[in-house]
Amino acid sequence: MSGTGVPSSWQSVLPYLSESLPSDRSPENPGSSGVQLNLPLELVRQSVQEREHWPIPEEVAQAYGRYRPTPLWRARNFEDAIGSRVPVYVKYEGGNISGSHKLNTALAQAYYYKKAGVRELVTGTGAGQWGTALAAACALFGLGCRVFMVESSLRRKPYRGVLMRMLGAEVLSSPSGLTRVSADHDSGRGNSLSLAIGEAVEYANTHEGTAFCIGSGETYSILHQSIIGIEAREQLAGLDGHVDAVVGAVGAGSNFGGIALPFHCSAASANTRPPMLVGAESTTAPKLTRGVFAYDKTDATGTGPLEAMYTIGSDYPIPDAHSAGLRFHGAAKVISAMRHRGDIEAMAVSQTEALEAGRQLTVSETVLAAPESGHALAAAAKLATRGSDGLRAERGVLVCVSGHGYLDLAAYEQFLNGELEDEAPAEHALMAAVSGLTPAGAPTLLPPRQTVGGPA
């Protein structure tokens, strides 16, 4: 820890994996592959080197010091509200300009891209938290910023767009009609984060001095998020708190990886049993609970390398829902590899169950959680009470509330009015979406288990 209480280094899980990550495969469109060309060398190193500790640059540490360390407390009133058998600890990441954990990697990436000579960063965003975080980081480090935001999310949360514009970013609704990939898109994929990312990739590949930047699935972004779990370990020790389950929401994996993987590292280094690491995902995009471990695209253009991931298929038309940033087709390759080897558990949570858990936290702890975080809270509540499919905490639960829900009140309004219905993918649709993918390991198609509040 530094003198400000902020960790002085990030912690990588790579040295503690039982096997090396599967190698990436050539992209579908190799002639236009430019996703990795502008990647700063330090981010490449952070993705591949089996080095445990990576010093946080001074400029990034100073920026962290404005809002870190973030609070962690025992949520006793929430425990009472859900009838918990064990202590529940909340780690809250919503107290910065982006309203979420996304700023942790946005600041680091903007710093490294600026040093590499990039003038503008472009990205895709679902709920808008990542877009806001990147806009803030670019403003701080003097970079231009362009954000393609999923149309349904921007329509529901227009003030996310306003905030990004206040920070100097150009915001475009995706599909924008301004890129080839959006012009060619299937109308059923208009709510796809994969498409928004694809538009950002195409834009970056065709504009000099511009680089594509992503906030969740890459190994280096998960490394930057390790600051969450590192702080949480220290804070729990200070409270004499003990947990045997750590829970985070999974879109691609940065929030979950950030809170959970440092606990895997410390247990592995001490040769002790780690707590259950439980990823809470949306029933609308159940890659960890119902997907396959296969090589798939990370975006709709197919210009990037194919990565080994748990996926429901990059072309699958994900149903519209208030799961926002969780509505991504695949999980990060680090998260996927650990899931495949049995180091990670998963639960799928419906939007109504997630929003109910968010409501309970609001009433009991006076903290308004984003819908994504509601998924983690619902899973944590399940673990702390009656359990689910053999997963049950016996000592305590740590859950990451990855962001605030002040720009998601329309979702809560629909929930309170009883206007929401849950839609999970049909089995035949999932099978069709992944049928052409190359398996990354032993063939797996997980049954629709470990579902909290979702359709049978």
Average pLDDT of the residues in 374-390: 95
Q: What angle do CA 294, 295, 296 make, to 5 degrees?
A: 110
From 72-81, 268-277, 291-300, 412-421, the region with the lowest mean pLDDT? 291-300
Residue 261's pLDDT is what? 98
Same fold for the domain at 65-98+219-452 and the one at 103-215? yes
Average pLDDT of the residues in 292-304: 83
Average pLDDT of the residues in 421-428: 88
For a pLDDT cut of 90, what percent of the chain falls above it? 74
Residue 300's pLDDT is what? 64
CATH T-level topology, domain 103-215? Rossmann fold (3.40.50)
Is residue 170 exposed (0-12), middle (13-18) or buried (19+ Cβ within 10 Å)?
A: middle
Residue 399's pLDDT is what? 99
pLDDT above 70 (res 249): yes
At 101, list the tokens. 């954990």
Residue 451's pLDDT is what? 33
Residue 185's pLDDT is what? 67
Architecture of domain 65-98+219-452: 3-Layer(aba) Sandwich (3.40)
Confidence bin at 82 (pLDDT 50/70/90): very high
pLDDT above 70 (res 430): yes
Residue 152's pLDDT is what? 84
Torsion angle (degrees, nearest 10) of CA 230, 236, 239, 243: -170
At 57, list the tokens. 């640059």
pLDDT above 80 (res 34): no
SS3 254: helix
pLDDT above 90 (res 167): yes
Average pLDDT of the residues in 388-409: 95
From 140-144, 301-305, 415-419, the region with the lowest mean pLDDT? 301-305
Residue 455's pLDDT is what? 31
Average pLDDT of the residues in 15-24: 93
Pairing relationship of beta strands 345-349 and 276-282 according to DSSP bridges = parallel
Query: How far apart, in Å, are the Cα atoms of 117 and each of 142, 264, 385?
Result: 11, 36, 52
pLDDT above 70 (res 314): yes
Return the DSSP state at 22.
P
For a pLDDT cut of 70, what percent of the chain falls above it? 92
pLDDT above 50 (res 292): yes
- For the chain, domain boundaries: 65-98+219-452, 103-215
Confidence bin at 301 (pLDDT 50/70/90): low
pLDDT tens, residue by residue, 190-234: 557 778 888 998 999 899 999 999 888 899 999 999 999 999 999
Average pLDDT of the residues in 42-61: 97
| Closest-CA residue to 282 (of 387, 191, 390) | 191
Residue 192's pLDDT is what? 72
Identify the residue with better confidence: 258 or 217: 258
At 280, list the tokens. 């809470």
